[in-house]
Structure 1
Amino acid sequence: MHRSYQPLKPVTNRFLQQRWDQNDFDNHRRKVSTALPLVDTKGMKTPAHVQLKLKKLQLQDERLSIIHRDNRLLASRLASIVRSQGLVDHRNQYHLKSLNADKRREELMLVGHQNQAIYQRITARQSEYRRQLWLDDWERAERRRDDISRYPRGLAQKQRSNRKVKFAAVDGGGGERSTSSSNIDTDRTDTTEEADRES
């Protein structure tokens, strides 16, 4: 009983139902195997102007025609050399001359005159910068800074030249103290002198 076909729905004859289900399944598999795709994935066709490059063929024909023409000219020259028995006319009495030399000379002279005029205008031009006004303004700013500053400029340099600092040294054995003076400018002495001056 357990090896017999078990249909999904209750039926009167299991053997017939098995054959019908098998036929339906076979038909379904046949349809699936013969089904065609609905989406075209082949890609677009290559255009004719890409497959057959007419411009490239035209350029190749032109190049081949130029090569053939050069070959014919070279062959005719070789034939003329053979017919002349090796006599070569190598004397050339033609002197090189330009047909537009006068025109180029006139253009060169015109450019030279224009350049000279531009140079004259540049050298004759006066400067737009007023240096004297800048110097006057700088001196005025310096005076104002000196007026509003607490200590005038240059005073520290004058005091450093006249200041003397005393050092106290202690000997190791006797306990005697020796003093020496020297002219040394340090930031610490500047601050102490400013504090004394304020008090």
Structure 2
Amino acid sequence: MKIQRENSQLQAKISHIMMTTGRIDNKNDYERKSLGMEKRQRELDRITRENQEILLRLNRCKSQYDVRNWHQDWLKKLTVMDAIARYPGGKRRHQQETAIKKSSDKGAAMDEATAQHHYSVDNEVESNTKMKKK
């Protein structure tokens, strides 16, 4: 009789487990911790503080370079480039505009800086060919 009762209780428990997900009695609420986590966090905080101090100092200091002077120097260089160029001034600008139009017709919009770069590369190639001819 006792065995019959224990078997029926066991069978009821097994059927309950099979119908449900079952009970988990081995939950572990332990949070994983790294042994060096606090030290790494302190180091990260120190680096962040130092970076913020550097940024603050950089924002406070005044620039040593004058944009106007840069622009004037660039204009002087352009006049020198026009003076020594194979196709002076108007021709060069006309070539740049033509290059921009051609590239925009192809669907790839080329800005003036890119056109200027292409022009400088072309000048280097031409100067190299002149050197070879001499």
Q: Which has the larger radius of gyration?
A: 1
Shared topology, TM-score over 0.5?
no
Larger RCO, structures 1/2 (Cα 8 Å, 6+ apart):
2
* Normalised TM-score (structure 2): 0.28
* Normalised TM-score (structure 1): 0.21
Higher strand share: 1
Higher helix share: 2
